[in-house]
Amino acid sequence: MELLLTLLVTLLPFTYLLYLLYKLLDQWRSQCCYIMHYECFKPADDRKLSTEFSGDIIMRNKNLGLQEFKFLLRAVVNSGIGEETYGPRNIIAGTEDYPCISDGLSEMDEFFFTTLDNLFAKTKVSPQEIDILVVNVSMLAAVPSLSSRIINHYKMREDIKAFNLTGMGCSASLISVDLVRNVFKSYKNAYAIVLTSESIAPNWYNGNDKSMILSNCLFRSGGCSMLLTNQNALKHRAKFSLKCLVRTHLGSDDEAYGCCSQQEDDKGRLGFFLGKTLPKAASRAFTQNVRDMAPKILPIGELIRYVALSGIMAVINKYYPSGIKKKVSLKFKKGFDHLCLHPGGAAVIDGIRNSLDMAESDVEPSRMTLHRFGNTSASSLWYVLGYMEAKKRLKKGDRVLMLSFGAGFKCNSCLWEVSTDLEDANVWEDCIAKYPPPTLENPYMEKFGWLNHETQETFNLEKAKACGM
């Protein structure tokens, strides 16, 4: 008996240690985050905004003068947007001056139920199996919420954890993923749905403030639904696994906070303001985000090289002020294989490419997404990812860096690891063979270049003729 007691006393600490290790391992396993599938939204062809039709929409705005038309022409010519992007039905129908809540809701319903039906069918997961639901649509706040609308439509469980995010801007989808990742820590073997989009229908600006009509040139209809899980047993069926996520928020700085916002102009017309300080805010947020992300994704050898060379250059500059001034920079590309950059505009893509010293091929997916689908706000990243998959560039073990910006001002990024070779053509199926095209020039200058030669008097006559007056 004495020997047994001695043995038990001896083994007890060891057994407790094994139990703690098991708990830590179990906790780590439950904190995994996998994407099982994502479904981008492709609106019907009758919602396409061709050059000619876009011109008709602009001509309908009676508040625009010759200078505003010339400004819009320059903006859209340099925007990088092509002729096959999509708009909401109220703008197609010509009722954008009198938007109502039903315009926004019908726009969202078309996206919600088309993509979710496809998502459930392809993954063989039923709506009743969903434990967590996150919906982010920045500029549409409905009561009941949009998440409740989805729960009602699919008759989801009563204990579902539902979240409805607004006001997060173009970086909202990564915020939603981060929310799911944190909720996963409290729920094992869970399924989560994230829906990300923007409501364009009730937010079309019909005034003449140049800082607000610019958003009409950039933003287009779109959306993405995705299924995530923390079930380790399903990792072999997953498309991606989340490795890390970093969020940067400059909201405490007044200039960054106010550089882009939903507001009314001096005539009380609602729109989205894009200020001149936006590039500066984006640059600051990006720099901070990269600084925080770099140690998480770069190999240790690159970090040591950077620290060592920075130290050497600091010594040289201190003792030889007139010596060689050489800037030491991180080779950020060593931390990932593919860059999934938010296609906020041609200037955004060019700026990030230069900052990270990327090749044109690295930003090709973002540039092609901007051309084909435009800036669909928070869902844009997933169209970029879809382009890479349709081109069959995503192979098992590849690392994909996602980078997005949003009002507030925010810069969010995350790193995904590809779980298996991917080759789903998704929403790019009917056009991927044509990309990249020989040129990304749109025909707006060819169609509307005459505006640059107009006087106010001749322009008024042309506009009256175009409006059938």
Catalytically active residues, by annotation: 170, 249, 338, 342, 371, 375
CA 188 vs. chain centroid, Å, equals: 27
What string of H, E and C letters represents the secondary structure of the chain?
A: CHHHHHHHHHHHHHHHHHHHHHHHHHHHHHCCCEEEEEEECCCCHHHECCHHHHHHHHHCCCCCCHHHHHHHHHHHHCCCCCCCCECCHHHHCCCCCCCCHHHHHHHHHHHHHHHHHHHHHHHCCCHHHCCEEEEEECCCCCCCCHHHHHHHHHCCCCCCEEEEECCCHHHHHHHHHHHHHHHHCCCCCCEEEEEEECCCHHHCCCCCCHHHHHHHHHECCCEEEEEEECCHHHHHHCCEEEEEEEEEECCCCHHHHCCEEEEECCCCCEEEEECCCHHHHHHHHHHHHHHHHHHHHCCHHHHHHHHHHHHHHHHHHHHCCCCCCCCCCCCHHHHCCEEEECCCCHHHHHHHHHHCCCCHHHHHHHHHHHHHHCECHHHHHHHHHHHHHHCCCCCCCCEEEEEEEECCCEEEEEEEEECCCCCCCHHHCCCHHHCCCCCCCCCHHHHHHHHHHCCHHHHHHHHHHHCCC
Cβ-based neighbour number of residue 71 at 10 Å: 17
Task: Give the residue carrying structure tokens 């296609």.
Answer: 343
212 to 60, 69, 82: CA distances (angstroms): 17, 13, 21
Contact by Cβ (8 Å): 38, 225: yes
CA 249 vs. chain centroid, Å, equals: 16
First-to-final CA distance of the chain: 107
Give the C-alpha separation, 67 to 73, whole Å.
10
Considering only CA atoms, which of 255, 287, 296, 290 is closest in space to residue 409?
255
Q: Which residues contact 32 (CB under 8 A, 6 or more apart)?
A: 184, 230, 232, 235, 241, 242
